[in-house]
Every structure is written in C-alpha cells, then in structure tokens.
A and B are shown apart, each in its own frame.
Chain A
C-alpha cells in the first residue's frame, strides 16, 4: 500500500491509495463545509439533488444504466456530521479491470470522470436546478426528517446529542429541518450550490489500481479545472473546554417495547494527546465484551442485551447506551453510575488495560484491509490536520498507563441522561 496526497489547487486535495488487495477501485469525493442552522437543510438537499442527474447523464435512470454497464459499479452518497462540519460524500466503487472478461473497460477512468461530473456539473435548466427534481427531493428530505423516529436506538442517540448541544451547531440534525423547505427553490438552491462548490473543502480519494495515468486523468479533468482556488470554509476540530453543567435528565415517550437509556458524558480534556487515554478509558468502560458495562449490566445483572459505550473523538463525548426493560430504569441508572465511579477510583486491573490495548490495536491493524475504512481513516486525519501513521498510532496506545486512565476518569462528567420509554 502506498498513500500519496497533493494539492490540485488551494483547498482541493487529491489523495491516492495504491493497493492491489481488492477486486475493486474506490473513488470518493468529499465536500466539507461549516455546519450551521442557516445552511444545514440546503446542504442536505444538495447532496440529494446531485444524484438526480448531470450535464451528460440527465436522469437517475441514465446514471444507473451507466453504472450497470460498468459491471455493476455502485454510486452512493452519504451525509455526515463530523465535528462542527457537514460532509457531503459521493462514492463510485467499480470492479478492477483485472477481474473483468474484457480487460480494457477502463473502469477506473470512467469512475473518476463520472463522479466528478455528478458532483461538479449537475443537470440544470436556465441556470437553475430542474424544478421537477427539486420538488421531489424536497418531499424526499421531508420524509427523511420525519423518518428519524423509525430507528428507535438511533433516534434516542440523536435526541441525546440534540439536548447536549442545544443551540450549537453539533446539536443540528444532519438532514435539516422541514420548516426551511418552503423558502428553497430551484433557483436559490442552485445559486447556493455555486457558492458552496467554490468555498467548501474538496477532497478526492482514489483507492485501487492507481498509477501516473490516474493523476493525469485528474489534472486534465475539465470539471476540476474550472473550479476556483479557495480558503475552505470549514472548522478544524479543536479541543474546547467544556462548560461544566448540571446533570440534565430528559425523558421522551414513544410507542416502544424496550426502553432506550443513554448517558451523554463530557470528557473535559485540553490536549489532543489525551484522546488516546480516553480511547482506552472508553474501551474499559463499555467498548467491548470485557467492559464494565457489558460484564456488570448485561452479564451479571441481566438488565440489558445491548450495554455499551462509544467515544466521539471530534467532540470529546462518550455515550453510554443500553436497551432495558422500562421498569428497570432506576436500577440500571444506578448500576451505570457505579461503573463510572468505579473507573474514577481506579477499580480496574492491569489486565483490563492490556485487553483494551490489544483490542484497539487489532482494529487499527485491519484498516488497510477495508477499502472504505482506509479512505475514512485518511479523511479523518486530513480534517483534523493531524497526520499520524498506523505505527505511531499503535505506539501511542501502547504507552497509556493506569494513571493516565484514572486521570481521564476524573475528568468525566455526566451532561445528559436521556430515556426513551413508552
């Protein structure tokens, strides 16, 4: 594997990952822009509009047919909230020519050209998006927003974050808000798109059968060459001091069989380096089957099937997550709080620490075996402006001590207790 990057123009970066591990090539374009209440819905809608058609592939049907012709290339889009940014993601995954009956398909070249056309040269009529498309996509996004109640576990998580980050960018729902839709039309959204595409951070990732020719395809691409240089409008995730707040309790009611209990924790640290300690802390608290949550809440008290925690690095929060019988709320909460307290008192063993390290290091080692994970890994570092190799990462994990973990434990405070019940 060989990773390279270069700036095509200021604010537009190309990352290549040369690898022969896969049957596929993966081409990804990420547009990163600051997350805020004014533009959140527009950005979400743009990500949906761009897949409707481009200059040379006017309809979804044409795009799909082109993908099918390329032996089932998959074109996919996603929308993420990463720190205080909204990221519009576009991917084409296609079969490497070596595994095709006709080895001169040039699938990689086609993938690069098509994804760039879809993102940078959308279908327009009279200098605006197509009216019919925007009406349909407004309707679709409305359904998406209303659909947030469908997955109860995810809904509970979104609500917990919303409560923790009231009136702050990170509290926003990534698909936006229904009340914004009335004011958006084919003309003003296209105007906004032109602004976005010339101000956002653009990252292009190419993983697979990469060679010099690949780089030339990009350099000669017309859609790329018409873009302006820019000082990209995005937020580099930084460690901010958390305001220590009163523990907040929020209870929502919905038609559920099982209660979903979440605890949103603040990690009050001030140095990037402490994030490695926090990773280990989280792993011992609820990150694995050996963790305190899994062992004590699930295995010993039999209160839950799901009992875990996860660490959100970019925002320095840990979320504890449990599915419990509704009547067991008090009991479960008490037991969870005990786990947090026990961590503060250093009630975990050297073996717990070693197990956590082994687990995290094993995960890191597999990054290069998964094409999309590897792309996400490098993109995460690109955003954080913090390039570190897998070896360095591993050694930082190895150097964490018990003292470091107890130190983190004592910087943890409960921000919000969220319960979704019947």
Chain B
C-alpha cells in the first residue's frame, strides 16, 4: 500500500489499487467511535452518451438514469431492501448522485462488518424487473416534485442554463417525470454493466481501523470481476462563451434568491488545486465577510448574510458561484463587477491576501474533524484526480502575483451571468 502522510493535519491516507482496477483508500482515525465507508462510481448525470468497452456503437440514454440506478440498487432478488437491512443493523445508510459520480455509504458504531457485507453485496448485485422499475417511477416522481419546490435548486439550475450551451450539467440530476418514463430494466442493466466495473470505482473508509486488516476485509467481499478497460464518454463540444447573461424565474419567495456565475475554461487543469485555492482567496477578498462589498451591501440593506462562495469543476465544466438571498440582485451584481474591476486595476491588497490565506488554510484543516467529511472529500476529489492533502500543501506557494494573474484570467465580465428567482 502507498502511504501518504500530511504533517499539517497529522493524518495519513493508505492507497491501494487492486488487480481488478478498484482503488481503495483508508484514512485511519484512532479513538473515534464512528466508522464510515463510501463506495463510489465515476458515473453521474452527465454521462448520458458513451461507448461501452468492447463495443463500437454509441449508446444514448434518457436523462436521470444514474440517479434511477442509485435508487434501484437497494432492491434485492430475495425481496428485501438493503436500506432496510442496513437500518436494522443500526447503521446510517444512504446514497447520492451528482453530475460526475454516484456513491453508496454508511456510518456506524457497531455491526460494521455485517453492514459492509450488505453494502458490498447490494452494490455488486443489481436486480431490476419491469415491475420494480415501474414502482420506482412513482417515488422518484415525488422526489422531482419536491425539488420543484426548492427555490435554491431552481436558482442553481438556471445558473447552469445561463452559463452552458450544451453541457449536460444544465439538466436535472433526477431527470424529469417525462425522461424517467422512458427508463426500463434493459437501460439500467446496460449502464450498470458499463459504469459499475471496479476499474471505474473507488472505495474509501475512515475510522478506527488497521489499514492492512480492513483492506483484506474489503478484498474478501469483492466479486470476481475483470478490469474491463476504458469507457468512452461522449460530451458535446461546449463553447467558451456563456449562453445568456441573465435568467429569471418566478417563485413564491419573500426575497429574491440570486446566483452570480462566472464560467471558466476547462482546459489546462494541471494546476487545478492551486487555481482552486487562488479563486477561493479572491472570492473571499472581494465578497467575503470582511470585504468592502459586503459592508456596503449590508449597510444599504441589500444583503443580510454572507453569500456562499464556490468554485465547482469537473472534467467538462468549471465555474464560480456566488449564491444567496438579497433584496436587489441587479445592484449586487453591478457592485460585484465594480469590485472585480477595481481589484484588477489596483491589484489585490496584500494585507487582505495574507489574512484570507490564513482563513482558507484553517477551513481545510477543519475538514479533518469528522470521518464522514474526510471520506466524502477523498472520494469526490479522487474522481477529479486530486489528493485532498494537496490543498494544505499548495496554499503556501500562492503569492500575490499568481492571485492577480488568476483574477485577470478567470474573473472576466463577458463570462458572468446572473440567475434570479423572485416573486
């Protein structure tokens, strides 16, 4: 096993790539009660067009299949549901789907090995029938309608629609009631067999474990499976430009919700960790709690809380999101652009930089408090080709010059959009 230690947070990760292609990562935490395991596949709502290994024809599936699969995997041939079995063991089990991965997880104190049996069994043994697929459409239909009532989700999805022309990130992870109506068991098996191969998956555990022992316990529970090689994913070409600058939706809310987005280029993601850190620092200098913009907007009664500041990226997309609730999104948008312009002209203030850099460092240290956070971060970063420890190391090397460079390269006015949900 490969061992990587980080002296800043005093944690270690043990990494092993198995013969069948599965990557296992173990982050031991002595003295904690909780044990957490997460098993993910590099397959999400964006992967709708692909050529399966060994085939030469392209397969196109309806929107929402990855999420539908996530629901259906819990169902067992003997009529039981693995979620029930896991719950009965007193473990907290769940699953989720994002645009680039799907993951199955549980957290527990006792019955870890019984629960691991169940998790590894159900993820490796799909059981889809016409009947159980039809049944799920009703439940997922209610889930879709629930998201329809979340203004936060609507403002986010519209921001994606404003930034992207073709990229599937702009479609709902769940699909729509219409698209899921076309899903049948053959489609599910096809996607399962393509994307749930060990070579496309990673498993992460964190808790009070001996790394060698837990690795053996995982290997023991693996079904014989060949490393089937590369899946060709087909993504449409996405232009650099945004699709539309402004987008608005009506919704019964007390105060408008807004997302300011900045579309970023995907190419040249070699220095992605460093770039991510620089963007985080810039965002906090310009729009964070101690910023001039925040003070002005607060005193003018436009905002009453700090916006959330994020940089999201994957293989085919990258963008900045500034999200919150305010009385006047247009003014906030204008003032934000002004602040960006001023910082470009005058250069970023050095004191602000030093202070915010400390803050961002602390934020990354805090991620190592909880086994669940740790394992989730290692998994999602793995699918992005990143080891999370890099953030703690790279931050030291960021200087003012690099920051100003990123400010110029990424914070471009012609790449900005404003999504608003209001009455």
Contact = CB atoms under 8 A, between A and B. Distances in A.
A53 to B, nearest CB: 12
Interface stretch (B146-154, B220-228, B271-279): B146-154
A410 to B, nearest CB: 26
A318 to B, nearest CB: 19
A60 B301 contact: no
A362 B91 contact: yes
Given A143-B254, A288-B87, A369 B370 contact: yes
Given A257-B145, A369-B370, A139 B301 contact: yes
A222 interface: no
Contacts of B110: 358, 362, 365
Interface string B277-295: 0000000000011100011
* Best-buried of A22, A255, A305, A359 by chain B (most CB within 10 Å): A305
B32 A150 contact: no
A346 interface: no
A31 to B, nearest CB: 21
B366 interface: yes
Given A71-B362, A146-B255, A355-B87, A99 B10 contact: yes
Contacts of A124: none
Contacts of A144: 304
B27 to A, nearest CB: 14
Contacts of B151: 150
Contacts of A24: 366, 369
Interface stretch (B41-49, B353-361, B397-405): B353-361
Contacts of A289: 83-84, 87, 93
A132 B299 CA distance: 9
Given A95-B362, A358-B89, A302 B33 contact: no
A140 interface: yes
Contacts of A23: 9, 365-366, 368-369
Interface string A265-302: 00000000000000000000000111000010011001
Contacts of B308: none
B87 A359 contact: yes
B54 interface: no
A71 B365 contact: yes
Contact of B33 (A64, A354, A369): A369
B31 A21 contact: yes
A419 B75 CA distance: 32
A65 interface: yes
Contacts of A312: none
Interface string B234-271: 00000000000000000111110000000000000000
Contacts, number: 168
Contacts of B9: 23, 99
B254 A150 contact: yes
A299 to B, nearest CB: 7
A258 interface: yes
A290 B361 contact: no
Contacts of A61: 289-290, 294-295
A370 interface: yes
Given A68-B356, A256-B149, A362 B92 contact: yes
Contacts of A149: 252-254
A257 B366 contact: no
Contacts of B361: 71-72
Interface string A343-370: 0000000010011001101110110111
B334 interface: no
Contacts of A146: 254-255
* Best-buried of A24, A150, A304 by chain B (most CB within 10 Å): A150
Interface string B341-377: 0000000000000011011111101101111000000
Interface string A321-359: 001110000000000000000000000000100110011
Nearest to A357: B90
A325 B145 contact: yes
Contact of A68 (B295, B299, B359): B359
B304 A68 contact: no
Nearest to A137: B304
Contact of B149 (A59, A93, A152): A152
Nearest to A365: B109
A254 interface: yes
A69 interface: yes
A72 B87 contact: no
A73 interface: yes
B391 to A, nearest CB: 13
A306 interface: yes
Contact of B90 (A136, A298, A305, A361): A361
A368 B33 contact: yes
Contacts of B299: 132, 136
A143 B360 CA distance: 30
A147 B254 contact: yes
Given A136-B301, A305-B143, A325-B142, A72 B295 contact: no
* Best-buried of A22, A64, A136, A139 by chain B (most CB within 10 Å): A64
A144 B325 CA distance: 11
B358 A366 contact: no
B57 interface: no
* Best-buried of B107, B138, B251, B363 by chain A (most CB within 10 Å): B138
B289 A257 contact: no
A82 interface: no
Contacts of B139: 298-299, 302, 305
A345 B370 CA distance: 42
* Best-buried of B142, B369, B370 by chain A (most CB within 10 Å): B142
Given A64-B290, A72-B363, A95-B366, 18 more contacts: A23-B9, A24-B369, A72-B359, A72-B366, A95-B362, A99-B9, A136-B298, A139-B301, A144-B304, A150-B254, A255-B251, A258-B145, A289-B87, A305-B142, A305-B146, A323-B142, A361-B90, A366-B34
Of all A-B residue pairs in the complex, the 3 with the closest CB atoms, nearest first, are A72-B362, A358-B90, A71-B362
10 contacts: A68-B288, A95-B365, A150-B254, A256-B149, A288-B87, A305-B140, A305-B142, A305-B143, A362-B110, A369-B370
